[in-house]
């Protein structure tokens, strides 16, 4: 495979990976809105299910996104963001940041559950 084809495939993977990342951010914003306003409904549980699915996938792939393995075929970069259009620091700490955000969300949800 020539370099141009590899670059195009890497751009496609990075774009897909970034779109999924944006999707999960939109879901997370909604989850916070629903938890803070105590509007727990089907969409809330669907969003929780999406994050649970992502968590299971990450467990299966040893805390890596499957797209990272796919992108590795088209890049020799050692940068944390070689497979996604994010700043390197954010790509490096992404799982930690979102784990903390999910923990805070869970605390808000539990607090509102017992204070309703």
Q: What is the pTM of this model?
A: 0.90
pLDDT score for 1: 58
The domains of the chain are located at 3-114
Cα(99)–Cα(19) distance, integer angstroms: 19
Cα–Cα distances in Å, from 102 out to 7, 30, 48, 86, 106? 34, 12, 10, 20, 6
Confidence of residue 80 (pLDDT cuts 50, 70, 90): very high
Cα(105)–Cα(86) distance, integer angstroms: 23
Reported as a single tens digit per residue, the pLDDT across 25-69 is 999 999 999 999 999 999 999 999 999 999 999 999 999 999 999
CA torsion angle for 83, 30, 55, 20 (degrees, to 10)?
A: -20
Cα(61)–Cα(72) distance, integer angstroms: 14
pLDDT score for 83: 96
């Amino acid at each position: 495979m020539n370099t141009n084809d590899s670059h195009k495939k890497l751009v496609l993977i990075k774009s897909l990976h970034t779109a999924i990342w944006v999707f999960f951010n939109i879901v997370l914003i909604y989850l916070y809105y629903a938890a803070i306003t105590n509007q727990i409904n089907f969409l809330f549980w669907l969003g929780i299910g999406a994050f649970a699915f992502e968590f299971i996938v990450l467990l299966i792939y040893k805390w890596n996104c499957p797209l990272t393995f796919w992108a590795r075929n088209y890049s020799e970069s050692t940068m944390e963001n070689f497979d996604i259009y994010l700043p390197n620091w954010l790509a490096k700490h992404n799982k930690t940041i979102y784990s903390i955000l999910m923990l805070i969300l869970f605390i808000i949800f539990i607090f509102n559950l017992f204070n309703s």
